[in-house]
Amino acid sequence: MIDIATRVWNQRWRIDPIVRSLIDTDFYKLLMCQSVFRNHPDTRVRFSLINRSSDVPLARLIDEGELREQLDHLRSLSLTRGESTWLRGNTFYGKRQMFRPDFMEWFETMRLPPYDLQRVGDQYELTFEGSWPEVMLWEVPALAILMELRSRAVLRDMARFELQVLYARAMTRVWEKVERLRALDGLRLADFGTRRRHSFLWQDWCVQALHEGLGSAFTGTSNCLIAKDRDVEAIGTNAHELPMVYAALAEGDAALARAPYDVLADWQEEHDGNLRIILPDTYGTPGFLRNAPDWLAGWTGIRVDSGDPATGAETAIRWWKERGEDPTEKLVIFSDGLDVAKIEELHARFAGRVRVSFGWGTLLTNDFRGLVAGDALAPFSLVCKAVSADGRPTVKLSDNPRKAMGPSSEVERYKRVFGVGEQVGMEVVV
Amino acid sequence: MIDIATRVWNQRWRIDPIVRSLIDTDFYKLLMCQSVFRNHPDTRVRFSLINRSSDVPLARLIDEGELREQLDHLRSLSLTRGESTWLRGNTFYGKRQMFRPDFMEWFETMRLPPYDLQRVGDQYELTFEGSWPEVMLWEVPALAILMELRSRAVLRDMARFELQVLYARAMTRVWEKVERLRALDGLRLADFGTRRRHSFLWQDWCVQALHEGLGSAFTGTSNCLIAKDRDVEAIGTNAHELPMVYAALAEGDAALARAPYDVLADWQEEHDGNLRIILPDTYGTPGFLRNAPDWLAGWTGIRVDSGDPATGAETAIRWWKERGEDPTEKLVIFSDGLDVAKIEELHARFAGRVRVSFGWGTLLTNDFRGLVAGDALAPFSLVCKAVSADGRPTVKLSDNPRKAMGPSSEVERYKRVFGVGEQVGMEVVV
């Protein structure tokens, strides 16, 4: 029997919304938002969409009207009572009241600020301007909308069983990965795949499959809505936007050199334990660690998010030893371009030498490579970044020069200030 | 939203019935039943379950109580008005009123006769006795019930996503077969997989997948219920039980030698065109064709159901030529132990030389080989055969001596009467 009421209700949707909740976003975004809300509530920022895969003609694939409808829908959302209750009442990393009452009061009434959308050739220019705590909340859902609209465009012409077999193949692929990962003793792995997921429902499926298939080796998801609905841990710490904006706001080279550490000093005031994770690569990992204050060596771990991950981890291990820390008590989180073979390799190399954890992103939640003609569902490298703060351009160097961004004169200045020399370029897959 | 009424309704089912309709059976069973109802309504027969795969301990896998519940449920069924309307009103092989009013009136009130179930070691002895037109209707659903109860027993301990991935893998496998079959120019293929299917829902899925994936190359299904519900053609002609029972009833060797042709003489009175298909292997194909009356050479085609299929088809082609018929106008239906590689091979060898059609059975609707531990879902060779008629044992020789059945003294007599010499044994997979 079909539930007629449900069917009629569904007819009423003007669109099938991709993002249906303000907490359908990464947990670290909310942690960072709270920090920004406290420390930089009035900073004006500009975020911008950047399609690193220029061979994917987004504006030809995605209808502008549909994109606007999805973005407009997102702007109509506000935090629901249940979502607020969960954020206020849940334990995150074992801690209650992770989100302060003043932040929650602000978040409960917050609506996303306007966006600006222009078609330029075969690409979209999508930008968001306004106060940092508001604008920053656009990043993850905007990316998820673009990724899913692209998926929908490709799926639209497929027949019914063709669709079912497509998902059967994708499910089989995820499960084969799960079966390989089960063999890794002491594995700890979380889903970091919100932003570049194939679709919301697919990410939700992947999380549940990992939960059943990996048991306690699956530590949780970065996605708050899925964590809430599926009763798993919400996972994440902080990201590049903090040092990028802090750096852009810095007056002069000395302040610039200090900016990445100022971020973590602010962070340390709010968080302890597993939330004290260093993300050292924004302006080059070697220089960051070389010049780091001693208190940072006491932090719990490091997230390796660009460059060769084994090199990054070895650098961290050497640094901890130099600072008199025991690496076996430290946590290394790998989160860049992971797939099973890479996870196996890193696990084999580092398990026992440090505590290892994996934040598995796009190749968990969007591995449809090879499954349709022309590989039209293959994931691609779409990001949404802070490009300016209070009118000053941001810069990112990264441990992979192909991920660098910012005006070239500023890039040169940052390289000088942070002592970045030769870097090895690596292909950016996702 | 969950439809609460549906959920409550489902709670009320004492069991989840495997066979829910008297037309969840092969079309040819109904055609044969009508013929038997007309020509031998009072013949008493005994049908018996035979598990040719003695390594599959059915009685250890399947709970006797559950088996009885399913068989009892089947006995509670009668033809519904809609089913009757479909049988009376539909066109089969282009003909209206395939089923005569007197047969339909009988069928509308028919209930399946009692069964006898005994556990003997690790196997079940399941027998059905009564009038031929009633007892014969047990065969297909009884097999489907045993096959599905075995599937359910294996699936019972699997977790939710493990189950989903199992079906994802099985779907992917079917679709890969579809993709290979698409490449065959002029392919004609039907589903013959009711009796040894993994489950009803799975057969239903396979039929729909073939319908979408193969388009007009998919000619229909042997399953009447699925044909009706999915609006595809019902396919099938006649089977071994007709010559087996006719032969058992024959008085003396001369009548025995004539019995297989008597079957087809009765059939010819009722059917023409694509329903005039010879099944020549019951007592050996070469002897059957050698001794066949000339009017049989005028029939539309031959079904090759045991022995080496290419040899069977070559024998038929030679026979047609000897009898002055043009093989390119004749139909050869392959229906024994088919899978894609065999279909490709036979299609390549015979397309153009004869009209070729495939009746794809167990390896379409039950190919779960290698998908669970211990290969516990692999299909196996379960049959349900007429073992006696009016108290006299039946005999089958087949073109594969491993499919032979009957008391050995009778087997020797039949071999002598039908002039069957050396035969090549072939493994019986399904």
* A172/B167 touch (CB, cutoff 8 Å), yes or no: no
With CA atoms as reference, the chain A residue closest to B206 would be A161
Query: Quick one: average pLDDT of B408-421?
Result: 95
Measuring CA to CA, how many Å separate A263 from each of A34, A40, A140, A245, A389?
Answer: 13, 11, 21, 10, 15
Interface residue ranges in chain A relative to chain B, Cβ cutoff 8 Å: 1-3, 5-6, 9, 159-162, 164-165, 167-169, 171-172, 175, 208-209, 212-213
With CA atoms as reference, the chain A residue closest to B207 would be A161
Same domain? B166 vs B294:
yes
**Closest partner CB to A161 (pick from B164, B167, B209):** B209
**What is residue B203's three-state secondary structure?**
helix
Q: What is the pLDDT of residues B256-267, one digit of tens each?
A: 999 999 999 999
Q: What is the pLDDT of residues B296-308, one digit of tens each?
A: 999 999 999 999 9
Same domain? B119 vs B27:
yes
Task: Tell me the nearest-neighbour CA distance from A167 into chain B, angstroms.
Answer: 8
Element (H, E) at A179: helix A160-182
The size of the A-B interface in CB pairs under 8 A is 57
Q: How far is CA B65 from the centre of its chain?
A: 26
Task: Tell me the nearest-neighbour CA distance from A104 into chain B, angstroms.
Answer: 30
Return the pLDDT at A111: 98
With CA atoms as reference, the chain A residue closest to B1 would be A6
* A172/B172 touch (CB, cutoff 8 Å), yes or no: yes
User: Residue A150 is part of which domain span?
Assistant: 16-156+382-416
Same domain? A105 vs A199:
no
Instruction: Check residue B114 and report its DSSP letter.
Output: P
With CA atoms as reference, the chain B residue closest to A9 would be B1
B421 contacts: CB under 8 Å, gap ≥ 6: none
Diameter of chain B measured on Cα atoms: 70
In angstroms, the CA A338 to CA A329 distance is 23
At residue B417, does pLDDT exceed 80? yes
Using a 10 angstrom Cβ sphere, with 0-12 exposed, 13-18 middle and 19 or more buried, the burial of residue A254 is: exposed
* A161/B168 touch (CB, cutoff 8 Å), yes or no: no
Single-letter residue type at B265: A
- Domain C-terminal end among B333, B365, B397: B365
Residue B5 — very low, low, confident or very high, per pLDDT cuts 50/70/90?
Answer: confident
Q: Hey, what are B352's tokens?
A: 């153009």
Q: Hey, what are B316's tokens?
A: 């038929």
* B172/A175 touch (CB, cutoff 8 Å), yes or no: no
At residue B163, does pLDDT exceed 80? yes
* B168/A175 touch (CB, cutoff 8 Å), yes or no: yes
Measuring CA to CA, how many Å separate B195 from each of A359, B83, B162, B242?
Answer: 48, 20, 26, 18
- Domain C-terminal end among B309, B344, B365: B365
Same domain? A141 vs A282:
no
* A6/B6 touch (CB, cutoff 8 Å), yes or no: no
Residues of chain B contacting A6 with CB distance shorter than 8 Å: 1, 3
Residue B396 lies in a domain: no
Residues of chain B contacting A167 with CB distance shorter than 8 Å: 168
Same domain? B147 vs B168:
no
Interface residue ranges in chain B relative to chain A, Cβ cutoff 8 Å: 1-3, 5-6, 9, 159-162, 164-165, 167-169, 171-172, 175, 208-209, 212-213
Looking at chain A, the whole-number percentage of residues with pLDDT higher than 90 is 93
Residue the block writes with tokens 């038929």: B316
At residue B430, does pLDDT exceed 80? no
Q: What is the pLDDT of residues B167-203, one digit of tens each?
A: 999 999 999 999 999 999 999 999 999 999 999 999 9
Single-letter residue type at B86: W
The dihedral formed by the CA atoms of B268, B271, B275 and B280, expressed in degrees to the nearest 10: -20
Residues of chain A contacting B230 with CB distance shorter than 8 Å: none
User: Are B130 and A180 within 8 A, CB to CB?
Assistant: no
At residue B7, does pLDDT exceed 90? no
Q: What is the pLDDT of residues A14-67, one digit of tens each?
A: 899 999 999 999 999 999 999 999 999 999 999 999 999 999 999 999 999 999
* A162/B212 touch (CB, cutoff 8 Å), yes or no: yes
Residues of chain B contacting A171 with CB distance shorter than 8 Å: 164-165, 168
Task: Tell me the nearest-neighbour CA distance from A417 into chain B, angstroms.
Answer: 52
pLDDT, chain B, mean: 96
* B175/A165 touch (CB, cutoff 8 Å), yes or no: yes
Same domain? B139 vs B127:
yes
Residue A45 lies in a domain: yes
Task: Tell me the nearest-neighbour CA distance from A8 into chain B, angstroms.
Answer: 12
User: Are B371 and B347 within 8 A, CB to CB?
Assistant: no
> Residue A58, Cβ neighbours under 10 Å: how many?
22
Same domain? A169 vs A152:
no
Residue A146 lies in a domain: yes
Lowest-confidence pick of B14-28, B361-375, B416-430: B416-430
Residues of chain A contacting B2 with CB distance shorter than 8 Å: 3
> Residue B212, Cβ neighbours under 10 Å: how many?
17
Same domain? B146 vs B166:
no
In angstroms, the CA A344 to CA B301 distance is 58
User: Are B99 and B108 within 8 A, CB to CB?
Assistant: no
Mutate to test the interface with B, among A2, A10, A164 (most CBs of B within 10 A): A164
* B1/A1 touch (CB, cutoff 8 Å), yes or no: no
Query: Considering Cα of A98, then A103, then A108, then A110, what sign does the dihedral take?
Result: negative
Q: What phi and psi, each to the nearest 5 degrees, are found at residue B219?
A: -95, -10
**Closest partner CB to A161 (pick from B162, B169, B208):** B208
With CA atoms as reference, the chain A residue closest to B167 would be A168
At residue B387, does pLDDT exceed 90? yes
Q: How far is CA A359 from the centre of its chain?
A: 10
Residue B244 — very low, low, confident or very high, per pLDDT cuts 50/70/90?
Answer: very high
Same domain? A142 vs A261:
no
In angstroms, the CA B308 to CA B131 distance is 35
Q: Hey, what are A396's tokens?
A: 């990112």
With CA atoms as reference, the chain A residue closest to B168 would be A168
- Domain C-terminal end among B108, B128, B156: B156
With CA atoms as reference, the chain B residue closest to A210 would be B161
Q: Hey, what are B103's tokens?
A: 């047969």
Residue A100 lies in a domain: yes
Residue B326 lies in a domain: yes
Return the pLDDT at B50: 94
Residues of chain B contacting A168 with CB distance shorter than 8 Å: 167-169, 171-172, 175
Instruction: Check residue B44 and report its DSSP letter.
Output: E
Return the pLDDT at B412: 95
Residue A374 lies in a domain: no
Same domain? B184 vs B297:
yes
Task: Tell me the nearest-neighbour CA distance from A187 into chain B, angstroms.
Answer: 20
At residue B23, does pLDDT exceed 80? yes
Q: What phi and psi, each to the nearest 5 degrees, are found at residue A18?
A: -80, -50
Query: Contacts by B81-84 with C-beta closer than 8 Å and gap 24+?
Result: B83/B21, B83/B22, B83/B23, B83/B225, B83/B228, B84/B108
Q: How many domains does chain A have?
A: 2
Return the pLDDT at A327: 98
Return the pLDDT at A374: 95
Q: How far is CA A406 from the centre of its chain?
A: 20
* B1/A5 touch (CB, cutoff 8 Å), yes or no: yes
Query: Quick one: average pLDDT of B88-96?
Result: 93
A139 contacts: CB under 8 Å, gap ≥ 6: A29, A47, A195, A241, A384, A385
Element (H, E) at A245: helix A241-249
**Closest partner CB to A169 (pick from B164, B172, B208):** B172
CATH code of A28's domain: 3.20.140.10
Task: Tell me the nearest-neighbour CA distance from B201 into chain A, angstroms.
Answer: 15
**What is residue A218's three-state secondary structure?**
strand
Residue A28 lies in a domain: yes
In angstroms, the CA A218 to CA B222 distance is 46
E-state strands within A344-402: 355-360, 382-389, 392-393
At residue B81, does pLDDT exceed 90? yes
Mutate to test the interface with A, among B7, B12, B162, B165 (most CBs of A within 10 A): B165
Same domain? A52 vs A145:
yes
Looking at chain B, the whole-number percentage of residues with pLDDT higher than 90 is 93
Residue B412 lies in a domain: no
At residue B411, does pLDDT exceed 80? yes
Return the pLDDT at A13: 83
pLDDT along chain A (430 residues), means of 10: 80 90 98 97 97 94 97 98 96 93 98 98 97 98 98 94 96 97 98 98 98 98 98 96 98 97 96 94 96 96 96 98 98 97 98 98 98 96 97 96 94 96 84
Q: What is the pLDDT of residues B107-153, one digit of tens each?
A: 999 999 999 999 999 999 999 999 999 999 999 999 999 999 999 99
**Closest partner CB to B168 (pick from A6, A159, A172):** A172
With CA atoms as reference, the chain B residue closest to A2 would be B3
Residue B2 — very low, low, confident or very high, per pLDDT cuts 50/70/90?
Answer: confident
Same domain? A243 vs A200:
yes
**Closest partner CB to B1 (pick from A6, A162, A172):** A6
